Amino acid sequence: MATIQDVAKLAGVSTATVSRVLNENYKVSDKRRQLVLDAVRELGYRPNIIGRNLSRSENRTILVVSSWIDDDMLHGASYAAKELGYDLILSYTTEEDDKDALKYFENGLAGGIMFINFRGTDSRIAKLGAEYPIVQCAEYVDFPEACLVSIRDDDAIAELTDMLADEGRRRFAFIGPGSRQNYTIHYAEAREQGLRRALQKRGIPLDERFVVRYPTPGSSFEAAERTADEWLALPAEERPDAIICASDTIALACMNRLIRGGMSIPRDAAITGFDNRRAVYANPKLTTVDQPFFEMGAECVRMLVNIMSGKEVEEKRIFLDHKIIVRGSTDPTLE
């Protein structure tokens, strides 16, 4: 029995194009439409009737694909979907394999895809964006036609850096995950660049020994602990006195290790995180960047619904406001 993949291969198009032709709810060129119909006839392909019937009812289902899910973000997406009369299908997948997730779209069970913090190779995400109605939420790959909702990570870190520099901190450090071949962790790169930009503007040198990008995939917690141990081995006057971390997890691991090693936080070193997750459970509580996760999820769905409905999307890149939450890890009066 022929499959949609067989039809796509014979017609020389993507499975998404085959689905669009059969569902008759997306614009496809006459040439491609004819190629698909000829392949369908030649192979005797019989599409999934249930999937087609569902997709014909305006495809009011959104496929949410994620390798890391934030509850608030998902709640925001669910709220907006319900408000607009749409349903969500959630597919948890690894960063290396999105094929099982995409089958829901290719079979006509979903009309658009929302990627939440999904990390695929840069070229893979760009290719999917050219074939499917897609909006990226939080973590993203930037390509010409990318649709996304996020915050400006670099500006958030630059603001933190300026705050600590104003307090007299001069030996800055950064800890975050590193990218690998064909795979960019955008948020980590942007946050590091925010630190560098702010320091360069002030004329404060950055010791490259204190820029730590641990390999991915890997344990951010353990990597931060190892880094803290290395800094503890240095003379006190040579250790960083302002540590900017790409996530709360990294910051908490580093801070706990430094405290056990005899350092006083924030007297000896101010430490900041990112995301405002578990930050209040530390001692001292962690200064961090709060992201509007609920609003990000909701805005993503609203943009995607407009794309699925064939409406013109004027603003394809939406950056929401972040908020700096100052706590005891940088301000001793708040301990």
Q: What is the CATH number of the domain that holds 24?
A: 1.10.260.40
pLDDT tier at 54, thresholds 50, 70, 90: very low
Are 128 and 204 in a shared domain?
A: no
Are 311 and 283 in a shared domain?
A: no
Q: Report if residue 310 sits inside a domain.
A: yes
pLDDT tier at 159, thresholds 50, 70, 90: very high
pLDDT of residue 51: 47
pLDDT of residue 70: 83
Question: Considering only CA atoms, which of 242, 247, 145 is closest in space to residue 187?
Answer: 247
Q: Report if residue 276 sits inside a domain.
A: yes
Measured between alpha carbons, how far apart are the two ends of the chain, in Å? 68
Q: Report if residue 117 sits inside a domain.
A: yes
Are 140 and 201 in a shared domain?
A: no
* Residue 283: count of CB within 10 angstroms of its CB: 13
pLDDT tier at 312, thresholds 50, 70, 90: confident
Q: Report if residue 77 sits inside a domain.
A: yes
Q: Report if residue 239 sits inside a domain.
A: yes
Tell me the per-residue pLDDT of 182-209, one tens digit each, with 9 for 90 and over: 667 889 999 999 999 999 999 999 999 9
- Please give the average per-residue pLDDT across 239-254, as a whole number: 95
Are 256 and 297 in a shared domain?
A: no
Are 177 and 284 in a shared domain?
A: yes
- Alpha-carbon torsion 215, 273, 222, 236, what sign? positive
Are 2 and 83 in a shared domain?
A: no
**Interior CA angle at 126 toward 19 and 25, to 5°?**
25
Are 297 and 284 in a shared domain?
A: no
Given the DSSP bridges, would you call strands 288-290 and 323-325 parallel, antiparallel or unpaired?
A: antiparallel
Are 79 and 35 in a shared domain?
A: no
Are 169 and 137 in a shared domain?
A: no
Whether 300 shows a pLDDT value over 90: the answer reads: yes
pLDDT of residue 157: 97
Higher pLDDT, 165 or 277: 165
Which domain covers residue 259, as residue numbers? 153-290
Report the C-alpha dihedral over residues 295, 187, 277, 79, rounded to 10 degrees.
20
- Please give the average per-residue pLDDT across 12-32, as a whole number: 73
Q: Which of 17-21, 135-139, 152-156 has the lowest mean pLDDT?
A: 17-21
Q: Which two tokens stand for residue 114?
A: 């929302």
Q: How far is CA 102 from CA 16, 21, 108, 191, 310, in A?
A: 10, 17, 10, 31, 21
Are 274 and 310 in a shared domain?
A: no
Are 225 and 266 in a shared domain?
A: yes
pLDDT tier at 212, thresholds 50, 70, 90: very high
- The number of folded domains in the chain is 3
* Residue 312: count of CB within 10 angstroms of its CB: 6
Q: Report if residue 65 sits inside a domain.
A: yes
Q: Report if residue 335 sits inside a domain.
A: no
Q: Which two tokens stand for residue 301?
A: 């769905």
Are 175 and 76 in a shared domain?
A: no
Q: What is the CATH number of the domain that holds 188?
A: 3.40.50.2300
Q: In angstroms, rounded to a whole number, what is the distance separating the alpha carbons of residues 14 and 104? A: 15
pLDDT of residue 108: 65
Q: Report if residue 331 sits inside a domain.
A: no
